[in-house]
Structure 1
Amino acid sequence: MPPAIDHGRRVLLRGCALLPLAFAIPGGAAAGASGNVPARGRGATRIDVRQHGAQGDGGHDDTLAFQSAVDALPATGGTVQVPAGDYLIDPVRSIRLRSRMHLELAPGARLLAKANAAERAHVLTAEAISDVEISGGRIIGERDAHHGSTGEWGHGIMIRGASAVTVRDVHVSHCWGDGISIGGARTGNGAIVPSRDVVIARVQCVGNRRQGLTIGRSRRVRVYDSTFSDTGGTLPGCGIDVEPDAGDVADDVIIGNCVVARNQGAGIQLFKRVSDVTIRDCTIEANRGHGVLAIAASACVIRDNLIRDNALGGVSLRPGAREISVSRNEFADNGPAYSAKSRKSLPRNRHVSIAEEAQAIHVTDDNSYRN
């Protein structure tokens, strides 16, 4: 076990975890906890969903009223405003957003997913569009009232083949699938269009069934100042799962200043066809799987994180992992790793375990280890 290093420095890092971070984003702007999220282009028109018949009483189906408000925006786009209230939304039909728009939910606005038996259903859909912002309010899924027992794709927000998308200051909970899912879309000729330039800022994904956040076929995704917790009910059950479907990759991802806690699977999973992911300044704790699990991921950085109390270990680098750097992290009280053959505890590997098949792994001396 490597010796512990300066714990005073670690306390300082934990204290700084609540301070703003600045991340470079396309176009040269910076994004951070101060609210400096990237501007998305749209017109000045503002439309209130109640003007299109939304009642917000929690009982009337407001799906068509929302869609009418979205469709009423002019070609230049604009903002659809959602005042405080409980809006029942049918996720089977979904609210399909359009380019150059902002869906602006008031702090007291809640989108309540209508119970259904569908394997695939999404409260909000952003597919093959650009310059989109979703902000404020809550999205509450129907996992506790779901009529079926199969499927895992009942998402709060689905982003597919979209670009220049910001999701900020939203609370997403109790979805049958993911709180938020980012991925690619197929064109008519079968080509895959990944999502690009997606920013997830100051979001909470809590108590969802499959993942808090999935990052699939994508380029340039930034996730910061957010919480992903208490996920579980079907596999993988991760707080954040970076896992593109076959046929494309996930590349250029930053996960910073986030809390990833108490998830049934890994806190953060990097699973196949994943490259250039940085996980930094996060608290990753009390997950029932590993804190960070990397399988066939490459060119990734795990640094300046507090990784503690994860049941299967802190960081696990499995076969196919290569060019992974693990530095300046504090590891504490992580549960034992296990031998795949004997299932016996391997205490020496419980903080950082590295498969023999992993290549070019750099675990620096400035990590600290406790218990």
Structure 2
Amino acid sequence: MGAGAGLLLASALPSPRALALDARAFGARGDGVTDDTRALQAAIDALPAGGTLALGSGNYVIDPERSLRLRSRTRLSMAPDARLIARANAAPRAYVLLIEDVHDVQVSGGRIVGDRDHHLSTTGEWGHGIMVRGAERVLLRDVHITKCWGDGISVGGISGARVLPSRDIRIEDVVCTGNRRQGLTIGRSRNVRVLRSHFLATQGTLPGCGIDIEPDPGADAEDIGIEACTLRGNHGAGLQVYERGRRITVRRCIIRGNRGDGVLIRGGEQCVLEDNDIADNGLRGIVVRGGGRDIVVAGNRFSGNAMGLRRQKPQAMKGWMHVDVAKTATDVRVDRSNRFE
């Protein structure tokens, strides 16, 4: 996020001294049995602009078919041992937290636990921990999200008669682990920053990536920065850029031990992959397929990638296992500063 957007977010959000409401004052139990959706939503709805809902320790059962819907210029501040637990459901789309068509929102602390261990259907892939859709200036910080039927976090836009991308989204010091479809999906959006976060052990349905930048047809994702993150142990690629992604920078990340490629670019444009540790991935370290354009690969450290593929091409040069560029990709520069081990 640019300096201007960061200052705007900080100034619009409430200060720590702004009015704070206690969720238990609205009847929230946090006993792991009672459905606390109605009580917590009442607390959120009672917040004035600039207010904070403080969620103390406890296990708060949430109906993701209704979702907790956050409002503009409010904070949800959760204690480290506060957990939002998704009630088992069979809905095709269900979100624990929904941040839709609002602005200047912050969610910090606590844990979100999805229902993948108790889901009531075998189909669908949109059961997310946090859904950000058509929102502006949102900060997600210090949240641990696990066991969602779909994504830990999904950032996208509103489509239809009104088209509204999400803008100025910041995700920092977040952990998404053991989710079913993606740790993080970035769809229709502008200016998304992902910092010091971990996307781990995604498995269950395709694509199974740590991070997937994949706008819907007719949409795009632009100005994405991913820095100092860990993408490890995912069933698919660590990072996938699937068409219509532009101006994407991935810097100082650890991309290791994913079953698929470390980084898979399918139609992305103006991407910079710099100073990353890319190792021990089941397929290649970085793959740029046809349609990829204006890609820079510089200063990365590669080792141990594509062990299974080596048996298929024992005569191939060492670099092939780490960086594989399709002939139909254009303007791809693999700099001499990369290190291949």
**TM-score normalised by the chain length of structure 2:** 0.95
Alignment partner, residue 313 of structure 2? 345
Q: Which one of the candidate residues 254, 275, 297 is aligned to 1:283? A: 254
Residue ranges of structure 2 left out of the alignment (5+ in a row): none
Q: Which one of the candidate residues 87, 90, 95 is aligned to 2:63? A: 90
Q: Does 1:325 align with 2:293?
A: no
Aligned residues of 1:337 and 1:345 also touching (Cα < 8 A): no
Distance in 2, Cα, partners of 1:312 & 1:99: 43
Residues 215-234 of structure 1 aligned to structure 2 (within 5 Å):
215-234=186-205
Give SS of 1:103's match.
strand
Aligned residues of 1:262 and 1:288 also touching (Cα < 8 A): yes
Q: Kindly provide the CA deviation profile for residues 30-52 of structure 1, in whole angstroms up to 9, marking residues without a partner as x.
A: 9xxxxxx8454237221111010
Q: Which one of the candidate residues 116, 130, 136 is aligned to 1:143? A: 116
Q: Does 1:334 align with 2:305?
A: yes
Aligned residues of 1:139 and 1:172 also touching (Cα < 8 A): yes
Alignment partner, residue 305 of structure 1? 276
Q: Does 1:53 align with 2:24?
A: no
Structure number with greater CO (CA < 8 Å, separation at least 6) is: 1
Report percent identity of matched pairs.
Answer: 51
Q: Kindly provide the CA deviation profile for residues 297-323 of structure 1, in whole angstroms up to 9, marking residues without a partner as x.
A: 000100000000000110000000010
Aligned residues of 2:5 and 2:168 also touching (Cα < 8 A): no
Q: Which one of the candidate residues 225, 240, 247 is aligned to 1:254? A: 225
Evaluate the alpha carbon distance shift between residue 337 and residue 197 of structure 1 in structure 2; reply closer, same or farther with a 3 A threshold.
farther
Deviation at 1:108, TM superposition (A): 1.2
Aligned residues of 1:231 and 1:239 also touching (Cα < 8 A): yes
Alignment partner, residue 12 of structure 1? none
Q: Kindly provide the CA deviation profile for residues 259-293 of structure 1, in whole angstroms up to 9, marking residues without a partner as x.
A: 10000000000110000000000000000000000
Deviation at 1:191, TM superposition (A): 2.8
Q: Does 1:26 align with 2:4?
A: yes
Give SS of 2:267's match.
strand
Distance in 2, Cα, partners of 1:247 & 1:369: 38
Q: Over the residues paired in the alignment, what is the CA RMSD in angstroms?
A: 1.8
Deviation at 1:77, TM superposition (A): 3.6
Distance in 1, Cα, partners of 2:47 & 2:218: 35
Distance in 2, Cα, partners of 1:335 & 1:239: 18
Q: Does 1:168 align with 2:146?
A: no
Q: Which one of the candidate residues 14, 23, 38 is aligned to 1:64? A: 38
Distance in 1, Cα, partners of 2:162 & 2:3: 26
Q: Which amino acid aligns with 2:14?
A: R
Give SS of 2:268's match.
strand
Aligned residues of 1:337 and 1:350 also touching (Cα < 8 A): no
**TM-score normalised by the chain length of structure 1:** 0.87
